[in-house]
Amino acid sequence: MFELLTEKFSSVVEKLKRAKKLDEKTIDEALKDIRRALIEADVNIEVVQQFLKDIKEKLLGQEVIKGLNAGETVIKLIYDELLEILGEEAPLAKAEKPPTIIMLVGLQGTGKTTTAGKLANYLKSKGYTVGVASTDVRRPAAAKQLCTLAEKIGVPCFVDEEEKDAIKLTEKIVEKTKNAGLAYLILDTAGRLHIDEELMDELVKIKEKVQPHEVLYVADSMQGQDAINTAEEYHNRVGLTGVILTKLDGDAKGGIALSVRKVLGVPIKFVGVGEKIEDFEPFHPDRVAQRILGLGDIQSLIEKMQKAIDEDKAQAMAKRVMNAEFTLEDLKEQLQMIRNLGPLENILKMIPGVGSKIKDLKVDEKQLVKIEAIINSMTPEERRNPHIINGSRKRRIAKGSGTTIMDVNKLLKQYKEMKKMMKKMKKSGKMKLPFNFPF
């Protein structure tokens, strides 16, 4: 997410950190680099021009902020301007009398149906009762796909195969939702490969009939400014209340995220960040601004850890580590915790200073899988007491894990070094972190 912007902005940030004063030459050079970065990231040109104009006006004659040097002052102002572009966090509307109706609109192929399932799963994880339904009467496959997702996450999917009128179908679905006492209803409306009058008229009539509390446009981040242009047409006809960006984990340049609010005047509410049903999260403008500037995203990392890591297990492991009693069984659990956080590359991007250098890091998650396979091929006794692993045992472990004796030796050597390090840290009294992972 935002790799291109992060790389370019981080370069600007590094130059500014070395600046001793805010003269016009320093400012112009920084703005030139920022302009290039924003255009390469496919940010709307009007947004780019206004962004640069606002920064320059604020920077010229700007006194260095107390407690910051010249470069840090510029970075602070850029951060504030990024927040101005991205807008504030915008939570979902909530009806006074349930259900809260959320209408998803957008072109076919943008991930609208998958997004309906992800949003339902997100709301369910927050303790709400949710129902989903497709209003697409022309493509029965759309309803089947949505119902398959609904079954997977355990939420009701409303279907009426006899009804061929989208407006009447929607009215029936809303009535069923009220009777079921659900808190939220997500409507996955029909999409086309392009905008047409018939589609727009249908969406306008559905909106007039059921009065949804949210009309969210689902945009494919990979489409850049094309998605913004299409969203404008939807907004003019239907009236959007927000946007959901999909595929932000792919090769999206990120420009659409910096264009939406200024061009449409509506906020980004959620983003899809992976293929799994759980890869969906609220849009946090402050965290995105931090990532773009290469400042990391510690808040999101902590939230991921809280979801993925069993606190009791982590505490017990920390205690064993501090007492230098760490076994290969513990190492296996630690690996599983790390893998539960998601792709390692995405986790590293959240660490301050790492995001902009991620291209230079060789992230090979296959090594983690290999280590886990080797440990799984050991007996419980071998995991607790690796010193008993002799030549014949190594051959058996290598064969059972599909690796080589060299791989087994490498793991055992790393484990010994890890134990030595723990003992030294215990003696020095400097051991504080429970996850000292050396590989």
pLDDT at position 435 is 37
pLDDT at position 305 is 58
pLDDT at position 374 is 92
pLDDT at position 71 is 65
pLDDT band at 303 (very low <50, low <70, confident <90, very high): low
The dihedral through the CA atoms of 36, 42, 47, 49 has a sign that is positive
Q: Determine the Cα–Cα distance for residues 93 and 274; give it in Å rounded to an integer.
A: 25
Model confidence pLDDT, tens digit, residues 32-41: 888 988 888 8
Mean pLDDT of 171-175: 92
Q: Determine the Cα–Cα distance for residues 167 and 172; give it in Å rounded to an integer.
A: 9
pLDDT at position 434 is 36
pLDDT band at 308 (very low <50, low <70, confident <90, very high): low
pLDDT at position 266 is 94
Please name each of the domains of the chain with its CATH number: 3-86 (1.20.120.140), 100-296 (3.40.50.300), 301-428 (1.10.260.30)
pLDDT at position 423 is 72
Contact in structure between 298 and 284 (CB atoms under 8 Å) = no
pLDDT at position 171 is 92
Task: Please list the residues that pair with 215 across neighbouring strands.
Answer: 103
Mean pLDDT of 93-121: 92
Indicate the SS3 state at residue 297: coil
Model confidence pLDDT, tens digit, residues 70-93: 667 777 888 888 888 888 888 899
Beta strands in 255-337 (DSSP E): 268-272, 280-282
Mean pLDDT of 347-375: 66
- Check whether 352 has a pLDDT greater than 90: no
Model confidence pLDDT, tens digit, residues 203-223: 999 999 999 999 999 998 887
pLDDT at position 118 is 96
Q: What one-character-per-residue DSSP string does 101-117 give?
A: EEEEE--TTSSHHHHHH
Chain-centroid distance, C-alpha 83: 18
- Check whether 57 has a pLDDT greater than 90: no
Region of 109 please: left (phi>0), alpha (psi -120 to 50) or beta.
left
**Average pLDDT score over the chain:** 81
Mean pLDDT of 358-373: 70
pLDDT at position 436 is 37
Task: Tell whether omega for the bond before 438 is within 30 degrees of 0, i.e. cis.
Answer: no
Mean pLDDT of 410-427: 78
Residue from 399, 404, 410, 400 nearest 439 by CA = 410
pTM over 0.75: no
pLDDT at position 235 is 94
Residue from 29, 30, 50, 42 nearest 2 by CA = 42
- Check whether 135 has a pLDDT greater than 80: yes
Structure tokens at 182: 């659900």
Spell out the SS3 assignment of 339-359: HHCCCHHHHHHCCCCCHHHHH
Residue from 240, 180, 168 nearest 205 by CA = 168
Chain-centroid distance, C-alpha 392: 46
pLDDT at position 196 is 83
| Between 350 and 54, residue with greater pLDDT | 54
